[in-house]
Amino acid sequence: MGTTLQAPPFELALDSALWSSELLASERGRAQLDKLHRTWLDAGADIVETCTYQSSLPLFLPASRAPTADELSTALDTMTSALPVACGSCASASSSSAASSSSSSGPKPQVALSLGPYGSALQPGQEYTGAYPPPFGPAASAAPDARPASGAAALDAVPLPLDAVRAGDDGVSDVEAHLAAWHLQRLEHFTSPSAEGAQPVGLVAFETVPSLAEVRAIRRAVATFSRLYPSRPQLPFYISLVFPRADPAGDATEVRFPDAALAHLGPRLDAQLPPLVEALLAPEQGYALPAGLGFNCTSPLAARGVVRALGRAVAEQAPAAKPWLVLYPDGGAVYDVRTRSWTHPAGLTDGAWAELVADAVGDALESGQWEGVVAGGCCKAGPGAIKALRDEVTKRGWTE
């Protein structure tokens, strides 16, 4: 989303830690986000995500001093306004479609609440490494220069609900407890009935997850949320992993899961994925089961290999219910978290990108391991790419 806002016709300078979420602070910014959501819908998208990937409440607070009660309330309203903005765009698109046609041509567009990993709240970002500093990761594998993007005063003003995620289970590791509390807190804030213009959350997209501990933490956070707030609507969710290149300068088809805790398994996905899929799908008390799993922000050149390896790991796990597969590769560009710049080694056209994604979808459908497939695009896969994917899906005769 942020990369599309930086490109024509928007050409916005988004340089803060909030990235696209900074637009939520003004009426003009929210209008830009509405325009962006409508651009995706016009391109043929069935699901649009909120501009909340990096969002956590401390990022919306003053960095160097304790916030006032009014500032806390305003920050919550600003952050959670992403939901009504996206829901309003989808409702308008549905109304426009109904007015122009006497019969419905497809499902109504849906909104997914985008929630990035803890690494997205660090500077420099660690979502492609999972190298989180303590207490969110082990000191031995932490990135030495990674620090919270929020100020210390802001973090102190919004303490994590650690007791809630530890309740009833003394065996939860300190790393998992902190990650679960961080994710739980965001779920609490985005579903808060006190937020101005509060909207129900129909789907939660936990994205670009780079560590096994965070996979378990997310499942624990959702289960804790359901236990603490039985009167609030329950949250269907999926967990999307990230598979960066094994060698940043090497073959884009050679990817790996970045968690240092799995380094002993070697770089091959067939060795890495079984424990990951077990962490995703194994039934366990106190851990919610995701409706789907998959990957995003991964090279489209690697998509077929990842889909096939995931299918084999899911078959080995043999879950009681088939999960959905969610895949939305990036546009083929490579991002440098330090310079915040992109290179384009693949040089893919929108049509070539769409064919790669559709080929991966075809492999998934043929495998029989999935309840269904949701496909789309991540960073640098713009509206033209989504339109090309919609056309490719239509050409291949796949139904929604």
Annotated binding site: 297, 378-379
* Interatomic CA distance for residues 97 and 178, integer angstroms: 44
Would you call 243 helix, strand, or coil by DSSP?
Answer: coil
> How many secondary structure helices (H) and strands (E) does the chain include?
12, 11
Residues in the chain: 400
The tokens for 338 are: 């330090």
Which residues fall in the annotated binding site for Zn(2+)? Answer: 297, 378-379
Question: What is the CA 387 to chain-centroid distance, rounded?
Answer: 21
Question: What is the CA 152 to chain-centroid distance, rounded?
Answer: 25
* Interatomic CA distance for residues 64 and 276, integer angstroms: 39
Kindly give, in sequence order, each residue whose CB lies less than 8 Å from that of residue 142, ignoring residues fewer than 6 positions away: 131, 132, 133, 134
Kindly give, in sequence order, each residue whose CB lies less than 8 Å from that of residue 60, ignoring residues fewer than 6 positions away: 18, 75, 76, 78, 79
Q: What sign has the CA pseudo-torsion 340, 67, 131, 3? A: negative
**H or E element at residue 338:** none
Count the neighbouring beta carbons within 10 Å of the beta carbon of residue 103: 5
Of 365, 362, 389, give the one whose Cα is nearest residue 378.
Answer: 389
